[in-house]
């Protein structure tokens, strides 16, 4: 069974791989643009939050003046991603 854009010779030049590379390149360019913009801005404060899930234990970290909101948004997005994962898994089983 052939997939969309798959080559017979096994090379990674099909459409899905090209789309993956394009997406990765766009993310990389976006990060570089953000870094340059922050560097040119000068006096900017940085806040961030992250959620790691190790087993069933969530580890929440935050830094900066707006860390509470960054962690809150990260936690909400993590819960939403988990719900979507379970929903899609349920759909795949059917």
pLDDT at 83: 92
Q: Is the confidence at residue 44, as pLDDT, over 80?
A: no
Q: Is the confidence at residue 12, as pLDDT, over 80?
A: no
Positive/negative CA dihedral, 62, 68, 70, 72: positive
pTM of the model: 0.51
pLDDT interval class at 61 (50, 70, 90):
confident
What is the chain's mean pLDDT, rounded? 82
The CA distances from residue 32 to 39, 48, 83, in Å, are 11, 18, 32
pLDDT at 93: 86
């Amino acid at each position: 069974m052939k997939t969309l854009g798959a080559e017979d010779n096994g090379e990674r030049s099909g459409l899905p791989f090209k789309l993956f590379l394009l997406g990765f390149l766009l993310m990389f360019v976006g990060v570089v643009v953000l870094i340059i913009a922050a560097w040119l801005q000068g006096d900017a404060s940085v806040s961030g939050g992250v959620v790691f899930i190790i087993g069933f234990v969530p580890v929440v970290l935050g830094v900066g003046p707006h860390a509470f909101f960054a962690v809150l948004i990260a936690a909400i997005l993590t819960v939403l991603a988990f719900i979507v994962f379970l929903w899609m898994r349920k759909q795949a089983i059917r």
